[in-house]
Amino acid sequence: MLFFHNKEGLNRIKAVIKSQGRNEKWVAEQLGISPTSLSNYCTFLREPPLDLLFKLAALLEVPVTDLINLDAKIPPESLKKKPGKGKDSEKTDGE
């Protein structure tokens, strides 16, 4: 997911949780995920699946866009495809 690729302030999950006076343990329980998983999403170690992002927004009663910073600058190099990734890089017999 493009919006969670680095520590440049794109991920606002932790800030929104804190602004509502909630804690990560409670949020994780409500979402049915481990506190470690949520912590990883809040600290940029992992990107949350899109469906979980929508569940989180509904739980916190905020638009999904509140959980990401759409104004953050995205370095151009992060938009380039990495070689060897995706199904186009798979070799098949006869090609």
Domains and CATH numbers, the chain: 2-69 (1.10.260.40)
SS3 annotation, the chain: CHHHCCCCCCECHHHHHHHCCCCHHHHHHHHCCCHHHHHHHHCCCCCCCHHHHHHHHHHHCCCHHHHECCCCCCCHHHHCCCCCCCHHHCCCCCC
Residues 50-60 have pLDDT tens digits of 999 999 999 99
pTM over cut 0.85? no
Q: Exposure of 42 by Cβ count < 10 A (0-12 exposed, 13-18 middle, 19+ buried)?
A: buried
Rounded mean pLDDT of 24-29? 96
Q: What was the pLDDT predicted at 5? A: 47
Number of Cβ atoms within 10 Å of the Cβ of 10: 20
